[in-house]
Amino acid sequence: MPSKNITTKRALIDRANSSLVVIAGVAAFLTVFCLIASKTLISQAAYQNRVLKAKHTAVTQLRSDITAGNQLETAYQAFTSTTQNVIGGDPQGGGAKDGNNAKIILDALPSTYDFPALATSLEKLIQDTSGLTITTITGTDDEVIQSAKTTSATPQPIAMPFQVGVKGSYQSIQAFIGEFEHSIRPFQIQSVTLAGDQSDMTITITAQTYYQPAKSLNIGTKVVK
């Protein structure tokens, strides 16, 4: 009898030990799972907070940009709707000094390199001065190289060198130089060569004008980590 009781007690003890091992294993698993889940949740909450902060910053910047854009549009409309342009011409006219202010600014400092257009402008400048004959208009047509500079985040004026020669009376040549001074396009005269007398004079001007690439607006995305 005692032997049977001992066997039964051992069986109960083994069963209890097995139950304790299972319970301890389950408890350990649940503890580790809770710790990992808590860490994941905390990390996710921190990430969501960073996302919300970035979104709030973006919304604030967007509202500021919209306000600035509306102000710029209002200023542009006022700038282009004047009854007289900045050089005293008719905004609706078709003359040499006519056109709205936006057109005049673009003519003064083009956003693209165009040497043929420059040559045409020089020809018109000469034709507007009576008594002159064109002897030469030369320069380097650098369109292939300059075509890579169509836009820039920080645009700067780029020089376009040229040489122009005309022939006429002293008074006509004097008026021609005055046309350079009053042109809406900036000209930087580097050298002047004169030959002849007052009635028949030749002038050769080495100078440069400028164009400025358009400003690029880079709208990108930001990854929140």
Mean pLDDT by 10 residues, the chain (225 residues): 57 63 73 78 82 87 90 91 85 81 83 86 85 88 71 82 92 88 86 90 93 78 73
Q: Which helix (H) or strand (E) holds 193?
A: strand 188-196
Sequence-ordered list of residues with C-beta below 8 angstroms from that of 168, at least 6 positions apart, any chain = 129, 131, 132, 133, 176, 200, 201
pLDDT on residue 74? 93
Concatenating the DSSP letter of every residue in 76-119 gives HHHHHS-SS-TTS--TT--STT-S-HHHHHHHHS-SS--HHHHH
pLDDT on residue 193? 92
pTM, full prediction: 0.62
Q: How many CB atoms lie within 10 A of CB 126?
A: 20
Side-chain-side CA neighbours of 196 within 13 Å: the count stands at 15
Q: Token digits for 129?
A: 């001065």
Residue written as token pair 């032997």:
3
